[in-house]
Every structure is written in C-alpha cells, then in structure tokens.
Amino acid sequence: MFDDEPASELQELEHLFMHMGEKLEIEDAFKIWETFKFNLPNIRRRLDLDAVAIEQHDPAAKSLEEVYLAYPGFYAIAIYRLSHELHLLNVPIIPRMMSEYAHGITGTDIHPGAHIGDSFFIDHATGIVIGETSIIKNNVKIYQGVTLGGVQVKKSLSSTKRHPTIEDNVIIYANATILGGDVVIGADSIIGANVCVTVSVPERSILTYQKEFNIRPRRNDKN
C-alpha cells in the first residue's frame, strides 16, 4: 500500500499542474510537466545535500529526520528548489505562488529566479529575503533576518542583475543586509551580524559591526 503512495501523490500533482496550466493558458503544459518530473531525482539529490548541511552544522539538530520534518529553513529551500525548476522552464505565476506560500509558512522569502548552489544552510529562517537575481554558490550558511537585496527599486531595472553574488563557503550572520547587483562576497568570508554591505568583500574576509557598550552597576535605590 505504502509503495503506491508516492506515485499516487505525483499523479495528483500532475492533475493539479495540468488544471492550473489550462487556467493560466500555459502552452505545452504536458511537455513542461514531463521535463519537470524527469528532473525531480536531481532536485531530491540537492535537497539531500541541503538537509545534510543543516544537520551537520546546527548543534540543535538531532537527526536528518528532524531536519526533513521540522525545520522551516529546509522547507523554504525545498519549495525554492521546486519553484526554481519551474521558473527555468518559463512557467508563469506558479513559481511565485509557491514561493509566496513558503514565505507565509516560514517567514523566508526566496525568489524562484535566484540561483542557489549545493549544501545550502538556512538557520531559523525567519525574516530572510533573497532577491530574484541573487547568486549563492556552494556551502553557504545564512542566519535569520538576512537580506540579499537591491539598492534601487525601479521597473526599468527588471532585466538587470540587482542582487549580490555570494561565493563558496560564506557565512552571513543574523540581520546582515547585502545590497547591489555588483556586490560580490568573496569565498570563505564571514559577514557579521547587523552589518550593511554595499561594496564587494575580498576572499577570506571577516566583516563585523562593532558597537561600544557602556555597562555600569545599578544604583542601590531604596523603594
């Protein structure tokens, strides 16, 4: 009985896709679906790499099963990888519907047009924004509140690269903001929490924002 469930679910998805394709007047919807279905094993392979990256680098993760079933960051990545494949096949509207659904569930907004490499790690998920023309290479780790955005919001820039490139093995800590299509964060770099980056960063750099704290004893007031 259980062996038939994946095939049955895939048939249901095919029926739904064809129905939406008819409503949206998508040409060659069946051909697109067949190509998408053919690419599913490769998408699964990449998702396995993402899950392993999360399990290996998050000390709170107790098992791969926990990552698959309970991690919003992994859920957001999974929806992204599926929607990105449809985006590459020039499917209108549906990829954005998928990404906005994941956005509502996880708090992570990944545009399906972004290009993201293997072993991608999102921790905590909430508040992450990854723009349409972002390029993220392999083994990148991103924490909550990170924005990969554009410097300007103009319709005339829609066909240009507006979002940054993140090279291999970069770590971007919480609430960092990286803006601009010409900005490249070099490989093996660390971007600290709460920084705003609008220029490129060389390889093997550490960029941090430091604020001086003034800590003093409380007065011994009597009520």
| Two structure tokens written together for 210 | 């430091």
Q: Which pLDDT band holds residue 2 (cuts at 50, 70, 90)? A: very low
Single out the residue of 215, 217, 191, 218 nearest to residue 203, CA to CA. Answer: 191
**In the block, residue with structure tokens 């956005």:** 103
- Gap between the Cα atoms of 104 and 50, Å rounded: 21
Q: pLDDT tens digits for 155-202? A: 777 779 999 999 999 999 999 999 999 999 999 999 999 999 999 999
Q: How many CB atoms lie within 10 A of CB 87?
A: 21
Encode 106-116: b = buried (16+ Cβ within 10 Å), e = exposed.
Answer: bbbbbbbbbeb
Q: What angle do CA 93, 96, 99 make, to 5 degrees?
A: 155
